[in-house]
């Protein structure tokens, strides 16, 4: 792929790139693949119709199964049944934040900002209708290190550099890492945000 090519978060092209990046990072880590049965998946709900590209479910996966690494812009049951990291989240909640570059400290800050957002949504009766994780995340030794990469230049930052901002999520007040700030939104912005979340 062209190094300058960029796509919107959740688009078919970006999901393919994210899956390929995960597969590449795991293969480069020289792990003993026979020791692992592990999967990673992210599903994005309430995505704008223009980004569906004929898909009923939007997301990507990669996994280590039967001694091999594979992945794609799909959510196969074979991957979802493996122990690992399996997230399901509203597209508008993380679309903007996913384009920000950060180190491990920034990742922790973004995670805290997302907890504040979800708490604020619950306080106004708009709590999540989507389970963030299908099961408790499991990170066997070696996997997390492979995906974080050297100096944090791993899966998130590589894929973030390939993102362009979607018009639906522009303009909302946000934290330094792109997480929407509900308490700073106007009433019109709040209604638009709730609609994007499907809440």
Q: Does residue 2 surpass a pLDDT of 60?
A: no
Tell me the percentage of the chain whose pLDDT exceeds 90: 85
Q: How far apart are CA 9 and CA 159, in angstroms?
A: 9
Domain 7-100+128-168 has CATH 3.30.1050: yes
| Residue 150, pLDDT score | 65
- Helix-strand-coil split of the chain, %, nearest 5: 45, 20, 40
Tell me: the pLDDT tens digits for 85-142? 999 999 999 999 999 998 888 889 999 999 999 999 999 999 886 768 777 899 999 9
Look over the chain and give the mean of its residue pLDDT values, rounded to a whole number.
93
Per-residue pLDDT of 112-124, as tens digits, reads 999 999 999 999 9
| Structural tokens at position 15 | 């999901």
Nearest CA to 183 out of 127, 124, 98, 143 is that of 124
pLDDT in tens, 49-85: 999 999 999 999 999 999 999 999 999 999 999 999 9
Helix (H) or strand (E) holding 86: strand 84-90
């Amino acid at each position: 792929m062209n190094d300058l090519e960029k796509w919107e978060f959740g688009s078919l092209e970006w999901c393919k790139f994210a899956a390929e990046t995960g597969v590449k990072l795991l293969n480069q880590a020289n792990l003993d693949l026979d020791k692992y049965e592990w999967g990673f998946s992210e599903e994005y709900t309430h995505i704008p119709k223009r980004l569906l590209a004929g898909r009923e479910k939007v997301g990507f996966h990669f996994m280590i199964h039967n001694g091999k690494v594979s992945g794609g812009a799909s959510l196969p049951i074979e991957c979802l049944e493996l122990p690992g990291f399996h997230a399901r989240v509203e597209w508008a909640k993380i679309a903007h934040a996913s384009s920000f570059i950060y180190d491990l400290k920034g990742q922790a800050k973004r995670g805290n900002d997302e907890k504040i957002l979800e708490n604020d949504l619950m306080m106004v009766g708009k709590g999540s209708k989507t389970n963030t994780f299908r099961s408790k995340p499991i990170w066997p030794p070696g996997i997390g290190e492979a995906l974080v990469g050297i100096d944090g230049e791993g899966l998130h930052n590589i894929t973030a550099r390939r993102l362009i901002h979607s018009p639906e999520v522009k303009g909302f007040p946000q934290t330094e890492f792109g997480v929407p700030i509900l308490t700073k939104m106007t009433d019109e912005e709040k209604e638009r945000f709730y609609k994007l979340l499907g809440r």
